[in-house]
Amino acid sequence: MMRRLLLGLWSALLPASEREPLQERLDYDVPTLAASWALAGAQLSLIPVWALVGLAYAREVIGVQASTILATGRPPTFTEAMLASIVLGPLAFLVSPLGLLLEYVILTGVVRLAGLVASDRATGDPLLTLLAWLRRRAIAETRRRRRLRALGPWRPDRIVQVDTGLVVLSSRDKPDWNERITIEYRGVFYRLVRREDRAHDRWVDAAHVLRKQQPGELIRRLVTLDDTPVAASDRDTPRSTG
């Protein structure tokens, strides 16, 4: 029971991109929505605490300010009196570490409650969401660098004709190529079948295996290749664009 409760609270704090994989890895249902409602209620219950702590903090700051003014041995000016009695104390609490922490928790609780009411879905904590986004960016950048090292320096595309269609060998991935686009080469239309890596000297080529498009298949987007095909054993002479 305690484990489910803790997992539910943790799941409620996570962004959807991290929450869904976590729930898929577990063998039982995580009470994310119930935990999110409880968490929002606990966060909003801190409003009286924030007010009481802020009042005590403001009084302390006002007392220090008043003591400083009295120590000057002269009557305070109107501006000094206003700062001491009204502005300085509350403002000092609002920007203090404790004040900022309580304000963050309360405001995120308001956002969490609004998300639950509007869509009945848990809203992740903003800081955890930012950290998760930075982590994904770092992982993606690491993978991109590793991939570029494997592909090696840029080389012209090579087009190889095979019995079933074409193989386009490239030194870079073509993420915009998918099974829905049509690729035209010398007046013949092709569709992507699969991607695979093929050895090329010290590196690898990103091989895009194409099949001939069947009659009647809809052309949604057209990519044109214009080059001279080569035998599979000839790696260096041809060039392609696309």
Give the model's pLDDT for residue 231: 45
Q: What is the pLDDT of residues 99-152, one digit of tens each?
A: 999 999 999 999 999 989 988 888 889 999 999 999 999 999 999 999 999 999
pLDDT of residue 54: 87
- Percent of the chain having pLDDT more than 90? 47
Q: Residues in the chain, how many?
A: 242
pTM above 0.85, yes or no: no
CA distance 61 to 59: 5
Mean pLDDT, rounded, for 203-208: 94
> Buried (b) or exposed (e) across 217-240, using 16+ Cβ within 10 A?
eeeeeeeebebebbeeeeeeebeb
At 23-82, the pLDDT tens digits run 777 766 678 888 889 999 999 999 999 999 988 887 777 676 666 655 665 565 555 555
Mean pLDDT of the chain: 82
